[in-house]
Chains A and B, each alone.
Chain A
Amino acid sequence: MAANIGPKRLVVGAHYGLRDWLAQRVTAVVMAAYVIVFGLYAIFALPAGYDAWAGLFAPLWMKVATLVAIVALIYHVWVGMREIFMDYVKPTWIRLFAYVLTILWLAACAVWSVQILWRV
Chain B
Amino acid sequence: MSTTLQEKKRPEFKNIHVTQILSYRLPAGGFASFLHRFSGALMFLALPFLLWLFDLSLTSEISYGKLAAVFSSWFVKLLLLGLCWALLHHLVTGIRHLLLDLHIGIEKEAAARSAVLVYLISLPLTLVAGLKLFGVL
Q: Which residues of A contact B (CB under 8 A)?
A: 25, 28-29, 32, 35, 50, 53-54, 57, 77, 80-81, 83-84, 105-106, 109, 112-113, 116-117, 119-120
Q: Which of A25, A57, A84, A109 lies in contact with B48, CB distance below 8 A?
A: A109
Report Cα–Cα, A39/B80, bound state, in Å.
15
Report Cα–Cα, A119/B43, bound state, in Å.
25
Contact assessment for A32 and B47 in the assembled complex, using a CB-CB cutoff below 8 Å? no
Q: What are 9 sample pairs from A and B whose C-beta atoms fall under 8 A apart?
A: A29-B98, A53-B64, A54-B64, A77-B47, A80-B37, A80-B40, A81-B44, A116-B54, A119-B58
Report Cα–Cα, A84/B47, bound state, in Å.
17
**Interface SS of B by simple majority:** helix
B101 near A: Cβ within 8 Å?
A: yes
Contact assessment for B91 and A77 in the assembled complex, using a CB-CB cutoff below 8 Å? no
Contact assessment for A112 and B41 in the assembled complex, using a CB-CB cutoff below 8 Å? no
B23 to chain A, nearest CB (A): 19
Q: Which of A28, A53, A80, A83 lies in contact with B98, CB distance below 8 A?
A: A28
Q: Which residues of B contact A (CB under 8 A)?
A: 37, 40-41, 43-44, 47-48, 51, 54-55, 57-59, 61, 64-65, 87, 91, 94-95, 98, 101
Residues of chain A contacted by B65 (CB below 8 angstroms): 50
**With contacts A28-B98, A32-B94, A54-B58 known, is A116 near B51, CB below 8 A?**
yes
Inter-chain pairs besides A113-B54, A120-B58, 4 sampled, C-beta below 8 Å = A29-B98, A84-B37, A113-B51, A117-B58
Report Cα–Cα, A84/B54, bound state, in Å.
27
Q: Which of B47, B51, B55, B98 lies in contact with A25, CB distance below 8 A?
A: B98
Residues of chain B contacted by A84 (CB below 8 angstroms): 37, 41
